[in-house]
């Protein structure tokens, strides 16, 4: 078995979390390197594209969260082998990436601009992505995004819904997913109830 090291920030959630969860579900040992935000400015320049996560496999590194999700999904049986189901899995992960990029663009705005930008996100793109992802879930039977079983797409959407409902995003109502896409909140609950995910958060502490 290859020696794995996943480097991401020292918090629950974000682009590194689905791979951490997939490896935990698959029972695959890996070095879980968590970079404190205080150390990031000194390390950013040494990364290929100035961002995390980074996966190291037997001393070689690769970046890009969804590619990493696919790789660990293949190692853990959490990425569909059927090409069409794999495309559906990719669709959900890339949709979350699209909306994540829009949200991240608001992070460093001055307060008044941030409020306006986030209110616009709530009325526009957030509502749209929640609605459409719910539709895509329902089109696959309502339980999972691809292959009628848990995949890395479910982990990625789960992490996103948790973030939206966390209360950590000022000006984003925490009940937005409940109002716009209740099936995604049920999906969040379903993923959270996976025994290995419950065990993961029991070990790593409540989501912060
Ligand atoms: N396209 C990259 C984006 C990586 C990225 O921007 N990661 C964020 C954390 S989720 C980051 O490193 N932010 C710190 C920075 O940009 O300095 C991916 O999907 O992995």
With a 6 Å cutoff on the Cβ, whether 181 touches ligand 1 is no
> What pLDDT does residue 207 have?
47
> What pLDDT does residue 205 have?
84
* Residue 151: alpha-carbon gap to chain centroid: 12
* Residue 117 to residue 107: CA distance in whole angstroms: 10
Q: Give the residue ranges of the chain where pLDDT is below 50.
A: 207-208
Q: Name the closest-CA residue to atom 18, ligand 1.
A: 64
For residue 49, the CA-to-ligand 1 centroid distance in Å is: 8
> What pLDDT does residue 1 have?
81
Question: Which of 51, 63, 69, 90, when mutated, tests ligand 1's pocket best, judged by the most ligand atoms within 8 Å of its CB?
Answer: 51
133-139: which pairs have CB atoms within 8 A and are 24 or more residues apart? 133/92, 133/95, 133/96, 133/157, 133/181, 133/184, 134/180, 134/181, 134/182, 134/183, 134/184, 136/88, 136/91, 136/92, 136/95, 137/183, 137/184, 137/187, 138/183
pLDDT digits (tens, 9 = 90+) for 2-39: 999 999 999 999 999 999 999 999 999 999 999 999 99
Classify burial at 151, counting beta carbons within 10 Å of its beta carbon; exposed 0-12, middle 13-18, buried 19 or more: buried
With a 6 Å cutoff on the Cβ, whether 85 touches ligand 1 is no
> What pLDDT does residue 120 have?
98
- Residue 167, sorted as left (phi over 0), alpha (psi -120 to 50) or beta, turns out to be left
């Amino acid at each position: 078995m290859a020696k794995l090291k996943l480097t991401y920030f020292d918090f629950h959630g974000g682009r590194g979390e689905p791979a951490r969860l997939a490896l935990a579900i698959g029972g695959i040992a890996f070095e879980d390197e968590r970079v404190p935000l205080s150390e990031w400015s000194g390390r950013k320049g040494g990364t290929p594209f100035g961002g995390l996560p980074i996966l190291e496999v037997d001393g070689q590194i690769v970046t890009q969260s969804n590619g990493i999700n696919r790789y660990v999904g293949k190692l853990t049986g959490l990425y569909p082998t059927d090409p069409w189901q794999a495309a559906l899995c990719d669709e959900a992960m890339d949709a979350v990436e699209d909306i994540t990029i829009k949200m991240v663009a608001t992070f460093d705005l001055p307060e008044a601009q941030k409020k306006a930008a986030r209110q616009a996100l709530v009325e526009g793109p957030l509502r749209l992505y929640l609605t459409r992802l719910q539709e895509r879930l329902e089109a696959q039977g309502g339980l999972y995004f691809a292959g009628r079983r848990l995949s890395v797409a479910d982990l990625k959407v789960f992490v996103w819904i948790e973030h939206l409902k966390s209360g950590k995003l000022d000006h984003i109502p925490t009940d937005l997913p409940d109002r716009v896409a209740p099936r995604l909140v049920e999906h969040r609950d379903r993923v959270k109830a996976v025994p290995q995910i419950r065990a993961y958060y029991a070990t790593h502490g409540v989501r912060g």
